[in-house]
Each structure stands twice: as C-alpha cells, then as structure tokens.
Amino acid sequence: MENNRYCLSHRFVAALLFTLLGFQSLFAQGMKKAPEVKDGDGPYSQLIIRGVTLIDGTGAPPMGPVDIVVKGNRIAAIRNVGYPGVPINPNSRPKLEPGGKEVNAEGMYLMPGFIDMHGHIGGGQAPIAEYVFKLWMAHGITAIRDPSAGNGLDWVLDEKQKSAAGLITAPRLFAYTAFGQGAKDGVDTPEKAVEWVRENAKRGADGIKFFNAAPEVLDAAIRENKRLGLRSTSHHNQLSVARWNVLDSARAGMTSMEHWYGLPEALFTNKTIQDYPVNYNYSDESHRFEEAGKLWKQAAPPYSEHWNKVMNELLSLGYVLDPTFNIYEASRDLMRARRAEWHENYTLPQLWEFFQPNRRAHGSYWFNWGTEQEVEWRNNYHLWMTFINEYKNRGGKVTLGTDSGYIFQTYGFSYVREMELMREAGFSPLEVIRSATLYGAQALGVEKDLGSVEVGKLADFVIVDQNPLANFQVLYGTGAIKLTEDNKVTRVGGVKYTVKDGIVYDAKKLLADVKRIVDEEKKKMNNYVIRQPGIVD
C-alpha cells in the first residue's frame, strides 16, 4: 500500500510528505526492534543437507536425491546421489568433516530462500519487528525489499546490518527509501530531487520507492538514481497517473513498479483520464477502491494493437512488474480474506483492529462493500492477470511482493497466497518459484549471491516435507488439509526449515514464537478476542 501507514488520509503531495516526515521519527520510536537472540543453529564449517529433492529456482525441474554441501554461508557442492525410490549408495555421498552438521532431508523439497519484494516492516498496526520478521522467516522468506523504509532509513539500515551479522532473526533487508523522506522543505524542484537522490545513496539506501511528484521532479530523480546505479520502484498513485504513468517511469530509467496503478492509464485508447464519477473523492477510500475495480476494463483490451505496443515497450526497457495480487484480494472476496484461518492465532490484535472498516484508516474501505463491487473486481483481476501472464510469456520479469499489513493480509501467509494467485494468473508452479526467487534477486541486482541454489551462492533455502509444486498451500504455516487412508483429517506441510546465511531455523518454532507474541499482546489488551466486523455478543 502507500506509504501512509499512520491512518492519514493523503490529500496533496506536500501534505503527505510533510506528515510523513513528521511521523517518521515518531513511528520508528514506536516500532520495537528485533531482540538480539539466537534462534537458529549455525553457520557451520560444513553443513550437509542430505537426500533432498532440489527445485533450484532457475526454472529447472525438480531433481533428487541430492546432497547439498554448505561451508559457512555459501553453497560448496551440489551432488546427485542416486535415483528416486531406491536406496542411496553411501559411497557416492560427500563425507562429513569433523565439526560438520548433517540434516536428513530425504523425502523433502529444497528451494532457494523466497524474496518478498514488497515488505513493509510492520508499522503502527504491527509495531513489533520480531513478529513481522518471524512470520516472514517461518514462511521461508529470507529477503525482503522494504518499499519506503517506513520506520526511517536509519532504523532499517540498523536492522539490516544486524540481520546480515546474524544477530537477529530476520530476512535480508533491502531499503528503498520513500522519495523525499527526511527532506525538511520537501523535494519540489529537479535540483532538490537530484540532491535528495545523491544524499539517499550516500546514506546507504538500496534504492527509492516513488509515490507521487511533479513530472519534472520524478524525471530528474529517476535519472540521477539510475546514474548512481541504484534501483527504484513506484506505486503510481491516482493523483499522479494522469500526467505520469508507468511508461514515463520506465523510459526515465525506473527499474520496477508496484501493484498495477499507472498501467491501465498507459493502455487508454479512448480517454486520457480514468472515468471518475462526478462525486468521486480520492480521500474517500470506498470511492478510491470501488472505482479502481472498474479501471482495467477502461484500458485497451488484451492482445489489441495498443495493448501489445505498451507491453512490448515495457519489455524492451527491462521493466520489472511486482503485481502484489494478494493485497487486493479482499476487494474480490472480502469474506475469504477476513475469515482466513490464521487470523485467530497469528494476526496481532492491533493489526486486526487496523483491518476493520474505518473511514480514517488506509485500506479499510468496507463501508458498503458487497456483491457488485466484488464482481467488478473479479473481472478487473481477469484483465490484470492476463497482462501479467503474457508479460511473463514474452520474457518479462514478474516478481512476488505482498504489501502485507493491510487489507486483511498477514505477513508470510500472504506470500503463499501470492503464489497461488500467480498460479491462477497462468504461471506454472515452476514459473511461480522462479519469480519468487531468481527474478526477485535479479530485480534487486543481487543474483550473483541470491535467488537460486547454485554452487558459490549464499546458503538461503526453504525446506518443506511436501511437494510445493503440487500444492502451494503446503507452505502455509497452518499447513494443508489431508485426509489419510483411514479417514483421519490431518494437516501436512508448513515450512520445516528456513536456512539463511547457512543458519538453520526450525520454521515451526519461529511460528510458535509468533503465536506467543500474539497471545501476550492479546493478554495486554484485556484478553482480546478476534471478532468479525459488526458482530457483538
């Protein structure tokens, strides 16, 4: 979602920027940093993960059994040790060295660590970093891009450094500062933009997240950022898309985009501005989200001349799409999103409160949401997904991002849901995994070290005891439903181990920690019980 995580309504850029700056420091103070506690084991001088089936993230099919040897935090060898269904000949296996550690992963599947390209680290609605980090790690997410560095760049860089040093349990963090963050008088000229961009790079940010600004300011900032070799992305908000859409961003050198706004606008053929009702008010979020649900049908139809032309230009510019399908899912099926089975145990009470219908909160537009809105959104999804899937088919890079912490989406769980929605869009299971891993690493510019399981790369893995390609739901912390041969209902899956930098984490233990945090918060809030909107008893 937008950068406004403080329940502000955003009216004008200046106002937004001002409030943002005003609240940034306050916010960071309220956000509890992750404790310096060692939850994982390792790294080891030698770690051998034995007998696993490998899905390496490159698009290669599964292969196994293999033994994967890790030395310290890097992959030293990947050895094919046999054939499925027959015993492994021990003589063919890498030998355990003194002080080394073995993990028996026979029957399990190993993938590269997942990358969430749109991961806000909590906020007022989830003010405990440990809660957010552990939900991510428990779902195999070993790297996230923080689009806006909403807790303040220094806050994020401090946690980033601690994560890199293995001092806290957290994914690798990539900070894309909100454009203009920290500027005292705003960034309203090209000169100021260039100055801000240079300062941002100097402070150690990985990139910039844009939201809204005047075209000449955006143009100067994006070009300078590119010249400095940093990456950038944008939520092209409706206040700016009439004069600056995704094509303008891509042409100026922006490397990726969030969500989908600005894309239908680039695809208009019979209008130049979204068809807003005359009583539309952007600060009324029910207007904003209801009308957004009618936007794709205003764009050029799939495979039409203009649709192809825009797609092909974005492809030629190497623009990365990060659709975050899951964050709009409540728009097409509110009951599904709010009744998700993990809310009771794993959604923080503050977060649950934040999700509730509220004219003053962002993404809580359930004033009068019903069948008509949901049907519009289902049709909207269909057109949107068609574009994204075809973009992938033509060689474009599509990544997985969630934007969790808004609209009934809980960290980690929403990532698995994003995988399911990519599948629904037409991606094959292997294409989904590649987007979740290698393409994310490429979009971040770190594919030399991350994104696939290859010798020499960093040891970031997800290990699960079920085949994720057959059913992504086995990756949910709550597992997938399975009926046994003798008619007993069971749950299977849930990530078993998350490995980051050669450190092995028991993913189920991390999830148990999350539940403990949630229980403690509920206790503090008068034994809070999650209830559905408007239900009183």
Can you give the binding site for Zn ion, defined by CB under 5 A?
1, 403
CA 299 vs. chain centroid, Å, equals: 26
Residue 93, classed as helix, strand or coil, is: coil
Nearest approach, Cβ of residue 278 and Zn ion (Å): 30
Q: What is the SS3 assignment for 163?
A: helix
Cβ 403 to Zn ion shortest distance, Å: 4
How far is 329 from 409, CA to CA, in rounded Å?
9
Q: Which of 216, 286, 281 is nearest to 252 (CA)?
A: 216
Nearest to 156 by CA among 116, 129, 179: 129
Query: Which two three-digit tokens encode residue 1?
Result: 């979602």
* DSSP structure class, residue 450: S
Dump the DSSP string for 410-436.
-TTHHHHHHHHHHHHHT--HHHHHHHH
Residue with smaller CB distance to Zn ion, 4 or 498: 4
Are the C-beta atoms of 212 and 237 separated by less than 8 Å? yes
Q: Enter the tokens of residue 75.
A: 């992959």
Cβ closer to Zn ion: 4 or 245?
4
Shortest Å, Cβ 327 to Zn ion: 8
**CA–CA separation, 281 and 303 (whole Å):** 33
Residue 301, number of CB atoms within 10 A of its CB = 13
Radius of gyration from C-alpha coordinates of the chain: 23
Tokens at residue 433, please?
């995994």
Q: H or E segment at 177?
A: strand 172-178
> In this structure, are residues 419 and 472 in contact, taking their beta carbons and an 8 Å threshold?
yes
Q: Whose Cβ is closer to Zn ion: residue 244's or residue 406's? A: 406
Contact assessment for residue 73 and residue 461, using Cβ atoms and an 8 Å cutoff: no
- The least distance separating Zn ion from the CB of residue 163, rounded to whole angstroms, comes to 20
Could you tell me which of 527, 514, 505 has the C-alpha nearest to residue 413?
Answer: 514
Phi, psi dihedral angles at 103 (to 5 degrees): -125, 120
Closest CA to 142 of 177, 110, 173, 120: 173
- Angle between helical axes of 429-436 and 413-425 (0-180°, round to 10): 130
Q: Where do the H-state alpha helices sit in 447-502?
A: none
Per DSSP, the residues of 3-61 read S--SSPPP-SHHHHHHHHHHHHHHHHHHSBPPP----SB--EEEEEEEEEEE--SSSPP
Q: Which amino acid is at 125?
A: Q
Closer residue to Zn ion (CB): 403 or 521: 403
Burial class (CB in 10 A: 0-12, 13-18, 19+), 454: middle
